[in-house]
Amino acid sequence: MSDATFLPGPGGAAAPGRGAGGGPDHELGHVRAFLRLVVIEHSVFALPFAYIAALAASFAASGSVHWADLALVTVAMVAARTFAMAANRIIDRAIDARNPRTANRELVTGAVSLRTAVVGSVAALGVFLAAAAALSWLCLALAPIAVAPLVIYPYAKRFTDFPHAVLGIAQAVAPIGAWIAVTGHWSWAAFVLGLAVGSWIGGFDLIYACQDAEIDRRIGVRSVPARFGVRGALIGSSVTHVVTFGLFVGYGLMASAGAWWWAGLAITAAIFCYEHAIVSPTDLSRVNRAFLTANGFVGIALFAFAVADLLSRGLSG
């Protein structure tokens, strides 16, 4: 997002209205800047798969949507992701300042203060725990297992060449947790769906990390592209997404999915092929198209086809 969209910081000119006096405009500016910090719109990646699991669990349990549980799953997912992104930005702020691509991030430029980021992350964690408690005592008891990889991930690039795998583990929790939230018990189908989501996100994170291969080597950040080169990372991403597709197929079989799910998977296969065709070791100019546009469409498309499949099999509101 352009720096031109940042609201003035403490040392800048005051915004119109009551912003300079600490009034509502000023507070709204802090909220907007914090939402930019955590890139709230990227919730589109994991949230659809939490919904798929929650709706499939509702169908298995009673044949109808558990709306209250779905609402709480939404709150928990968005809050957990907000906490994770804020913690990531806080922990990585010194690294971000040394990378030209990330040097305009809000904590580096001062558009968001460290205090605001810490308060926002703690508040998001509190909302997540409250939503987990509202779902069930079991969800609250399991909440630390979901939080742990979210905190470990920012540090992973300091001690392993495979931080993308830690990110995948963090994302795999979403469908598993959503199923448990609705039914109160374990599901191997949800576990396979979680593995699919984790490998999918880990795979496209490999593509995204290729942008920073050279600077990562220079400043000591560890990653697959920094260790094995861009070509090696892109091959690894392709292999990972083949595994992802196999896991999606496995979930469909375990969940007795119908024609709509398989139609969605056909579209997903086409998107995967497109995503890997537009990025090469000699041309990374379309990484953002592969990372944001293509992968955002995967989540939305599979969710839409999964819902159509469940409705066609009798899911009711």
Q: What is the dihedral of CA 212, 213, 216, 217, to 10 degrees?
A: -160
More confident position, 32 or 239: 239
Render pLDDT for 240-290 as a digit per residue (tens, 0 to 9): 999 999 999 999 999 999 999 999 999 999 999 999 999 999 998 888 887
Entry pTM: 0.86
Render pLDDT for 62-92 as a digit per residue (tens, 0 to 9): 999 999 999 999 999 999 999 999 999 999 9
End-to-end CA distance of the chain: 38
Render pLDDT for 158-201 as a digit per residue (tens, 0 to 9): 999 999 999 999 999 999 999 999 999 999 999 999 999 999 99
- pLDDT band at residue 20 under the 50/70/90 scheme: very low
Q: What's the pLDDT score for residue 43?
A: 64
Render pLDDT for 184-194 as a digit per residue (tens, 0 to 9): 999 999 999 99
Calpha distance 202→151 (Å, rounded): 16
Its CATH class, for the domain covering 42-312, is mainly alpha
Average pLDDT over residues 30-48: 70
Average pLDDT over residues 301-315: 95
316 SS3 class: strand
- Contacts for 280 with CB less than 8 Å, ≥ 6 apart: 234
Across 86-168, the runs of DSSP E, i.e. the strands, are: none
